[in-house]
Amino acid sequence: CPVHSVLDEAPSQSGHDSCSCQLTVQMMRNPQVLAALQERLDGLVGSPSGYMESLPKVVKRRVNALKNLQVKCAHIEAKFYEEVHELERKYAALYQPLFEKRSDIIKAAYEPTDEECEWKADEEEELTEDMKEKAKVEEEKKDEEKEDPRGVPDFWLTVFKNVDLLSDMLQEHDEPILKHLQDIKVKFSDPDQPMSFTLEFYFEPNDFFTNRMLTKTYKMRSEPDEADPFSFDGPEIMGCTGCQIDWTKGKNVTLKTIKKKQKHKGRGTVRTVTKTVPNDSFFNFFSPPEGRSSTNPGLYRRSYFFSDEDSEAVLAADFEIGHFIRERIVPRAVLYFTGEAIEDDDDDEGEEEADEENDPDYEPKVCTQPQSARVETCRSQ
């Protein structure tokens, strides 16, 4: 037993506080002890403390009435989230003309006017008129030396490369394809239809595939589980559906060809076999693993039901990425392109960490989720 091994190594003067301290430190440094302790604590979660059993029967009866009220609260909360979804759908229609104009500027379908292009940054307020004029002349000189580009080149590729969550998915062979990405839109489910949202990726004609649009749909449900109504904490993401990519022959970056040598058992001869195997690529995002999840949309906290840990990690990351694209990337794309949104995110995280560390009751928690799936999960703990 790992606990006994630590005890055997500990000093014999158990009566002294310093010895107890040393023993505790040694135990906490032993990963086997920590694992056993965590398993024990996990087993205690949700187990009765004995307090309810000690209550008089008349009080237990009233507590049951309170629990019934809580179930009704959960059903009202479910309706609240349904109306939030409808509100999101309504405002998506108001944002859409602005996003359409953004897309037209990026792909050079529209040239903004001088008035639309005028932007007064904070640092310009401190510049003298002479300095402004000098900066303007230098900028115009640089523009004359360069070939006039169309629209905003590599806009979405730059956004993806600026965001760690997305850049981790990118491979070198993905970049030439994403140069053709012209727009990303979010489409919400129609009224009176099951809750869902779809990410739509629009591409200009290219040599890699014939699709003009790739889609990823996330299906949600907002109703308490009859068997466990108290677990309801917002809509659940029930699953996601990708789309088929019609790759041009020889251009499918999600597959690669490898050669393996095989030895014949009987004759002892060796032959070379060519096999096609999966390849790391951002475009695997459109072929998600299947599975059911229980998810809190506010923090997108995940609890999956898989026997395969790898599939669980992939799906956890998939939901996190889809939510991040919907909530942050699409509405604030230009700020991720310039890097300003990344600085804001870093500042927010720094403030949260400072607040936690200044809290006298703050205790750092270790997050055991995979790296790709742990950003929002860690925050929610």
Give the pLDDT of residue 151: 92
Give the pLDDT of residue 127: 53
pLDDT in tens, 154-163: 999 999 999 9
Exposure string of 179-210, with b = 16+ CB inside 10 Å and e = fewer, is bbbbbbbbebbeeeeebbbbbbbbbeebebbe
pLDDT in tens, 20-41: 666 666 666 666 666 666 666 5
- Please tell me which residue, 273 or 30, carries the higher pLDDT value: 273
pLDDT in tens, 328-367: 999 999 999 999 988 766 655 555 555 555 555 544 433 3
Give the pLDDT of residue 298: 37
pLDDT-derived band of residue 225, with 50, 70 and 90 as boundaries? Answer: confident
Give the pLDDT of residue 366: 34
- Please tell me which residue, 321 or 371, carries the higher pLDDT value: 321
Per-residue pLDDT, averaged over 324-330, amounts to 94
Per-residue pLDDT, averaged over 199-204, amounts to 97
As given in the structure block, the two tokens for residue 72 are 């009704």
Write the CA distances from 73 to 59, 62, 232, 266, integer angstroms: 21, 17, 10, 71
**Torsions phi, psi for 273 (to 5 deg):** -110, 135
Give the pLDDT of residue 377: 34
Give the pLDDT of residue 352: 54
Domain 57-112+151-247+282-291+309-338: homologous superfamily in CATH: Nucleosome assembly protein (3.30.1120.90)
As given in the structure block, the two tokens for residue 131 are 């300095």
pLDDT-derived band of residue 230, with 50, 70 and 90 as boundaries? Answer: confident
pLDDT in tens, 76-102: 998 898 888 889 989 999 999 999 999
Burial class of 137 by CB neighbour count within 10 A (0 to 12, 13 to 18, 19+): exposed
- Please tell me which residue, 306 or 99, carries the higher pLDDT value: 99
Rounded to whole angstroms, the Cα distance separating 328 from 203 reads 20
Q: Which of 56-60, 208-212, 361-365 has maximum average pLDDT?
A: 208-212
Give the pLDDT of residue 123: 57
Give the pLDDT of residue 370: 34
Give the pLDDT of residue 374: 32
pLDDT-derived band of residue 139, with 50, 70 and 90 as boundaries? Answer: low
Give the pLDDT of residue 355: 57
Which percentage of the chain shows pLDDT scores above 90? Answer: 38
What mean pLDDT is reported for the chain?
Answer: 76
168 within 8 A of 175, measured Cβ to Cβ: no
Least confident of 36-50, 199-213, 282-296, 318-332: 36-50
pLDDT in tens, 238-267: 788 999 999 999 999 999 988 887 777 777
Does 280 have pLDDT greater than 50? Answer: yes
